[in-house]
Structure 1
Amino acid sequence: MQGALIQAASAEAAPNLLLPAVYDLVWSALCFAVVLAVFFWKILPNFQQMLDRRSAAIEGNIAKADEAQRQAEAALEEYTAQLAEARAEAGSIRETARADGQRILADLKEQAGVEAARVTAQAKTQIEAERQAAVVSLRQEVGSLALDLASGVIGESLTDDAKASSIVDRFLADLEKSETDKAGLTK
């Protein structure tokens, strides 16, 4: 019996391994409550403030990014408008330059035409003067040759310049008349 008592006493005294003792549960619950109270009273508000600051910083950065994006879009629109304005201005400058170029070209052509007409007129005047000089020189030479021939044919010297000149002029006029008559008949 003694063995049964020992066995019964040992059965009562043997704790359950899955279920702790009541005093352990009470003290553990009390410690947990204190730690939980300190956590909610001190740590959680600091943690919440840190999260709020981070959230505010992130929201501020997002707002700054949105503002920067709006500014970039506005700058892009302004740049596009300035580019379109610059292209339009370049087109008008190009058209103005083209018109000026055509006007200058027309002026130069007109000046060239005037200069060509002046040079042509001057050349005609010079040619006419040279022709007149050649005609006068030819008349003198033909006249002197005609006088020499006439003197040789007649046997007299034709030294009277006025008479000789009138004979030569009459001869040349008859010669020119016969040439123009021939030219008029051939046409």
Structure 2
Amino acid sequence: MVTFAVVFACMARVLLPRINNVLDERRDATEGQVERAEQLSREAGEVLARYREEIAAARHEAARLRQEALEQGTELIAGIRAEGLREREAMVVEAQARLAADRAIAETELRGDIVSLATELAGRLVGEPLEGVADSEVVDRFFADLDARSAAGSH
């Protein structure tokens, strides 16, 4: 028993403090890892929150840009449409002016041809040339009367 007590006392003095030191070191290491894991978890949560905020801000910015692009596209289409209408109106006015000018030229040419043909036909009917009649007031009155009838008929 004495031997047992001596061996136990030596072990209690030498081995027991070493065992307690190893157990304390393991406990500290385990608790440190838990604390580090908790800190990493908190940091990961903060990073995730910032990431979600950035994603929300990016989505908001993308929606704003889409809306802005849509508004600009609408404005461009309206501007192009207005420009097209202005060009069309200018082309219509120009075409109408050309038609009026062509019509006036055609009327003048036709009146000259009508006068010469009518004079020639009248000369054949009468049996003598009637060249002087083509420049007379009769022709002018005839065309003035014709213009007045066509103006009254169009209204």
Fold conserved between structures, TM > 0.5: yes
Residue 100 of structure 1 deviates from its aligned partner by 0.9
Kindly report the root-mean-square deviation, in angstroms, between the aligned alpha carbons of the 2 structures.
1.9
Structure 2 residues not aligned, in runs of 5+: none
Residue 76 of structure 2 corresponds to 104
Cross-structure match for 1:177: 148
Which residue number in structure 2 is paired with residue 141 of structure 1? 113
Q: How does 1:29-108 map to 2 (within 5 A)?
A: 29-108=1-80
User: Equivalent residue for 2:98?
Assistant: 126
Instruction: Measure, in 1, the Cα distance between the counterparts of 2:68 and 2:149.
Output: 65
Q: Aligned letter for 1:44? A: L
Taking only the aligned residue pairs, the percentage that are identical comes to 33
Matched, 1:168 2:139: yes
Cα–Cα, structure 1 residues 165 and 59, in superposed 2: closer, same or farther, change >3 Å? farther
How does the TM-score come out when normalised to structure 2?
0.88
Higher helix share: 2
TM-score (norm 1): 0.74
Give the Cα–Cα distance (whole angstroms) in 2 for the partners of residues 157 and 110 of structure 1: 62
- In the TM superposition, structure 1's runs of 4+ consecutive aligned residues that sit over 2 Å from their partners are 153-156, 165-184
Number of matched pairs: 154
Q: Deviations over 1:100-145 (max 9, x none)?
A: 1111111111101111111111111111111112212221222221
Bigger RCO (CA 8 Å, 6+ sep): 1
Shift, 1:183, TM fit: 4.9
Equivalent position amino acid for 1:164 in 2? A
Cα displacement string for residues 126-173 of structure 1 (whole angstroms, at most 9, x for unaligned residues): 11111112212221222221121122223332334xx51444333222
The answer (yes or no) to whether the contact 1:146–1:168 under 8 Å persists in 2 is: no
Listed as ranges, the gaps of 5+ residues in structure 1 are 1-28
Question: How far, CA to CA, are the matches of 2:100 and 2:7 in structure 1?
Answer: 132
Cα distance in structure 2, aligned partners of 1:165 and 1:66: 118
Q: Which residue of 1 is the match for residue 125 of structure 2?
A: 153
Letter matched to residue 70 of structure 1? R
Distance 1:39 1:172 in 2: 147
